[in-house]
Structure 1
Amino acid sequence: MYKVDLQADLKEAAAIEARRNREKERQSRIFNARHRTLGVDVEGLKSQVEQRKLREEAEKRRDEAFDADRVQYDKIAQMLEEEEQQRKKQLNQELLEFRQQKQHPSTRREWDIQDPAVVHKGPPARVSDDDPRCGPSSLQRFAGEDLNGVARQKRLKEQNKRDLEEQRAEREKAQADRKYADTLEDKKRIELDLRALELAGLEDECRRAKAMAIADFNRAQAAEVAEKQRLAQQREQDDNNTEIYNHLTSDILTENPDVAKSLVGPHRMVPYRWKGMTPEQLEAVRRTQKEQCKENQKLRGEQRQWEEEWDHQRHLAARAGMAMEEQEQDFRLQLRKGLDAYNRQLAEAQKANLRYLEKEVYSNAPTAHYHLQFNTSSR
Structure 2
Amino acid sequence: MARSLDLIRSALGSQDFKQMYKVDLSPDPKEVAAMEARRNQEKERQSQIFNVRTRLMGMDVEALNSQVEKQKLREATERSKEAAYGTNQVQYDLVAQLLDKEQAERTRRLAKKVQEYREQKQQLKNRCEFDLWDPDQLQNEFPAHLSDIGPHCGPASLQWFSGEDLYRATCLRMQQEQFRYSLERQLQEQQQAKADEKCADMLSDQLRLAMDMRATQLAKLEESCRVAMMSAMANANKAQAAELAERQHCEPQCEQEANLMEIQNQITRDLLTENPQVAQHPMAPHWVLPYCWKGMIPEQQPAIRRVQEAQHSEKEAQHQAEQALDAEWESQAMRSAQAAMELEEQERELCAEFRRGLGSFNQQLAKEQNAQQNYLNSIIYTNQPTAQYHLQFNTSSR
- TM-score normalised by L of structure 2: 0.27
Largest Rg, 1 or 2 = 2
